[in-house]
Structure 1
Amino acid sequence: MTLPTRLTGLIATMGPARSGALLMVIAGTLFALINLMTQYATMMLAVPSARMAFWQYFIALLFSLPWVIREGLRAMKTNSLMLHLIRVAAAVIGVQLWVAGLAHVPIWQAIALIMLSPFFVTLGANLFLDEAATLERWLAVTTGFAGGMIILAPWSESFSLYVLYPVGAAAFWALTSLLTKRMTRTESPESLTVYLLLLLTPVNFGLALEGGVAPGGGVTALILIAAGLLTALAQYAIAKAYAIADAAYLQPFDHLKLPLNVGFGVLAFGFVPPGSMWIGSLMILGASFYLLRQESRTAQPA
């Protein structure tokens, strides 16, 4: 799976920093389009969320198949099969909760809540990876979750349990990240990627059986195919970005997903976020950048 030739050529002429930033913006735009199509298919066309998730990631696997075949046999060697299975299970639950959330929750609310994931990672790193629980980390986590509560607004009449789906997705994707960090001590990046791609599809297929897995025809089929293709391209763009540029530098460009998703949601569905969304999002973004700054300082050698 690669990006279009002209775009690849343009990226090759730029420096690593600019190339990484451009790739993150491309990935964010692609994911915003994927979220838009997912919400349209599940909300407007009544496509079951489990079916949407299955076809999206199955088609992404098909587009990535040449790389999987090339790396597969070599990458399948592992001494941590159980951890691979747990990691895939966490990723699947996160995907299912995310797609189910988009079937009921406006894009602006879902994407703002999914940004809680780094705080779940920080919390989990302390509980499961024995990383130090500094005052700065707890301050960032508390502020981030307070911002999430403002966006959730459980005290309002419009609150529904569906709003908790993106929060659950953030938590399970954080667990996936924690397991990835733990497994990189013994597993190669190729092994982690191949196991994830190969095991996601059969698990998603099993979950989709109850509501039927037939892709349908017409607009529905086109959306499923397009979502799968864009998912493969977006994942490649993110991987390429992190391979050529520093993660701390790329983080602000990753946060562009918030205005991109809000803008697409307004244009496509008329989902205009209330003022509380911006207050909560600013708290999450501010805490995220503060946490990133503290972690970057800690990582620097004395």
Structure 2
Amino acid sequence: MIQMKVMNSGAIMGPLYFVAAGALFAGANTAVQGAGMIHGVPSATIAFWQYALACAIVIPLVWRAPWRSDRPLAHLLRVGLAAIGVQFWVAGLAVVPIWQAIALILTSPLFVTLGAWLFLGERMTPPRVLAVLVGAVGGTIILDPWADAFQLSALLPVGAAAFWAASSVVTKELTKSENAGTLTLALLVLLVPINGVAAISSGFAVTASALWLVALSGLLIAAAQYLIAKAYSVADAAYLQPFDHLKLPLNVGLGIIFFGFAPPGMMWIGAAVIIGASAWVMKDEAG
């Protein structure tokens, strides 16, 4: 009975952490687009300062968390995969419309679900698989990503999706022995020098008009990364993936509000499909 209550608690809290993280990521993406597309800050420069500021925010908050880990190679692998994903993503946001980028990132839940099954031994239940696929359909309804002429740059978000999915699988594995604070700090501390090397060619200068956007994105990223780690610590990675699709209406909505980027697809019908699929799988697991 106690074990059932714990599982049901994870089935509710895991998605709540995940959806909250998605909302924060949507805000960070909007800030990144503002800094890159409107103020002309290079994507590598944004990524460096975004994670440097996030690191500065997190260190005081998790100062008392255990620093020692018996799995340094796993941390390095996780961060290396995430770093490549970050570079692909910020580069994509600088040249790809937000709705098209988010539509293509939809492949990430498919990668994570498959990876969790192959490498973590998580259950591949029909509701989990169906919810991920239905969520992808909802995203396509919203965004109609192939309406515009295809550009090679559209593959950048797909690359980000693949590497972030691999990083998520490693994150879930690490939650078996590491807490959320340690996972968040390790990610941010190790990402800063990696992003710094990537930013050497573009420089580290940020225009005064874009400074607040970069700072805001760092704050939101710090909180989002912590909530992602919390979500993976209480629920299966495969179970959480359908809820990743909820970032679609969040990102699209913010894009409309701040940039007037109205997608060509039927947004509200697609959003209803996504929310319905997520609610169904959550009810099935919490059951």
Q: TM-score range by the shorter chain?
A: 0.7 to 0.9
Q: Does 1:77 align with 2:54?
A: no
Change (3 A) 1:184 1:163: same
Alignment match, 2:61: 67
Say if 2:203 is the partner of 1:212: yes
Which of 30, 37, 43 is the matching residue for 2:31?
37
- What code does the residue aligned with 1:76 have? R
**Counterpart amino acid of 2:102?**
I
Aligned partner letter, 1:63? I
| Closer, same or farther: CA 157–265 of 1 in aligned 2, 3 Å | closer
- Higher alpha-carbon deviation: 22-31 or 55-64: 22-31
Q: Residues 148, 171 of structure 1: CA spacing in aligned structure 2 closer, same or farther, 3 A cutoff?
A: farther
For the 8 Å contact 1:75–1:194, the answer to whether it is kept is: no
Partner residue, 1:161: 152
Shift in Å at residue 219 of structure 1? Answer: 0.6
Aligned partners of 1:77, 1:245: CA distance in 2, in Å? Answer: 22
Provide TM-score, normalisation by structure 2. 0.75
Give 1:188 deviation, angstroms. 3.9
In the alignment, does 2:103 pair up with 1:109? no
1:192 and 2:186 correspond: no
Letter in 1 for 2:173: R
Secondary structure at the aligned position of 2:29 is classed as helix
The change in CA–CA distance for 1:59 and 1:104 in structure 2 (over 3 A counts) is same
Q: Percent identity?
A: 53
Measure the CA separation in 2 of the matches of 1:233 and 1:213: 24
Match of 1:56 among 50, 53, 73: 50
Aligned ranges for residues 1-302 of structure 1 at < 5 Å? 28-71=22-65, 74-78=66-70, 80-133=71-124, 139-140=130-131, 153=145, 158-214=149-205, 216-235=206-225, 256-275=246-265, 296=285
Query: 1:66 Cα shift?
Result: 1.1
Does the 8 Å CA contact 1:75/1:188 hold for their aligned counterparts? no
Q: Report the Cα offset of residue 96 of structure 1.
A: 1.6
Q: Distance in 2 between matches of 1:188 and 1:22?
A: 18
Aligned residues: 277
Question: Which deviations, in whole Å up to 9, do the C-alpha atoms of 1:35-89 show, x marking residues without a partner?
Answer: 2221121112221111101101101111122134333xx32232x2211111001
2:17–2:228: 8 Å Cα contact kept in structure 1? yes
Aligned pair in 2 of structure 1 residues 159, 69: CA closer, same or farther (>3 Å)?
A: same
Name the SS of the counterpart of 1:211 in structure 2: coil
Letter aligned with residue 84 of structure 2: I
Whole-angstrom CA distance in 1 between matches of 2:168 and 2:239: 19
Structure with the greater alpha carbon radius of gyration:
1
Q: Shift of residue 110 of structure 1?
A: 2.4
Q: Equivalents in 1 of 2:242, 2:153: separation in Å?
A: 28
Q: 1:76, 1:194 within 8 Å by CA — same for their partners in 2?
A: no
- Change in Cα spacing, 1:293 to 1:116, as seen in structure 2 (3 Å) is farther
User: For structure 2, which runs of at least 5 residues remain unmatched after alignment?
Assistant: 1-10
Q: TM-score, normalised by structure 1?
A: 0.72
1:13 alignment counterpart: none
What SS does the aligned partner of 2:263 have?
Answer: coil
d(CA) in 1 for partners of 2:40, 2:32: 11
Compare 24-33 and 62-71 and name the one that shifted more: 24-33
CA distance in 1: counterparts of 2:31 and 2:51, whole angstroms: 14
- Structure 1 residues 33 and 182: alpha-carbon distance in aligned structure 2, compared to 1, 3 A threshold: closer
Name the CA shift for 1:18/1:220 in 2 (closer, same or farther; >3 Å).
same
C-alpha distance in 1, partners of 2:178/2:246?
31
Deviations 1:215-241 (A, max 9, x none): x33212222222222333444566678
CA deviation after TM superposition for structure 1 residue 124, in Å: 1.2
Contact kept? 1:76, 1:195, Cα under 8 Å: no
